[in-house]
Chains A and B, each alone.
Chain A
Amino acid sequence: KAGVTQTPRYLIKTRGQQVTLSCSPISGHRSVSWYQQTPGQGLQFLFEYFSETQRNKGNFPGRFSGRQFSNSRSEMNVSTLELGDSALYLCASSPLLGNEQFFGPGTRLTVL
């Protein structure tokens, strides 16, 4: 069974731009979570989607948003990029809410 895939793997943007990251969960998994990982803050939860609805949300500003499609694929969007948004963005899927999570390889975003 294929694992969680994330595209693109690497991305370079400039301040003020916006970016959309994509995540395809493991087949059959209905929950998708997003995390931001930086050296200073570690791994921080952004939000979780299940059945196209946001079920949990971390403590991030409204510039960070996401959505989930009927096939469980998910996208996250960051608007008005700031230098501090440079990070590894990880997506994780699980069969249902509250199950063990399976992580993708991440998207490395660099904001210049």
Chain B
Amino acid sequence: LAKTTQPISMDSYEGQEVNITCSHNNIATNDYITWYQQFPSQGPRFIIQGYKTKVTNEVASLFIPADRKSSTLSLPRVSLSDTAVYYCLVGRNYGNNRLAFGKGNQVVVIP
């Protein structure tokens, strides 16, 4: 199972675009990249999933370079309510993602 590496924490100002990176150097051909968000005292919530290039939904964009060894979650114009832990997971579709949430990246949005 591909291991992911994320920064432990990062701060951002309200209204800015936030880019959260994730390294997954040994990603397999069949692996997808999935991001979850967790607010304090809540369970994680699915944000977005992608395989290559770019995926966009109403919440975020996911950028995946050609070698797929990293990915970047982009949150446009963050607000204080975007303060959360963000997890990057790598696995086949969703199935193997059960194994690799890790510690995630604590993002703090500052007024």
A residues bordering B, Cβ < 8 Å?
4, 33, 35, 41-45, 48, 56, 58, 90-92, 94, 97-106
The total of chain B residues at the interface (CB under 8 A) is: 21
CB-based A-B contact count at 8 angstroms: 58
Report whether A105 and B42 are in contact in the complex, using a CB–CB cutoff of 8 Å. yes
Report whether A4 and B43 are in contact in the complex, using a CB–CB cutoff of 8 Å. yes
Report whether A45 and B99 are in contact in the complex, using a CB–CB cutoff of 8 Å. yes
A58 to B96, CA, bound (A): 11
Report whether B94 and A105 are in contact in the complex, using a CB–CB cutoff of 8 Å. no
B50 an interface residue at 8 Å Cβ cutoff?
Answer: no
In the complex, how many angstroms separate the beta carbon of B20 from the nearest chain A beta carbon?
16
Residue of A nearest to B92 (CB): A98
Contact of B94 among A42, A99, A106 (CB under 8 A): A99
A106 to B42, CA, bound (A): 7
- Given the known inter-chain contacts A94-B94, A98-B94, please indicate yes or no for A42 contacting B101, CB distance below 8 A: yes
Report whether B101 and A103 are in contact in the complex, using a CB–CB cutoff of 8 Å. no
Report whether B41 and A105 are in contact in the complex, using a CB–CB cutoff of 8 Å. yes
Report whether B104 and A42 are in contact in the complex, using a CB–CB cutoff of 8 Å. yes
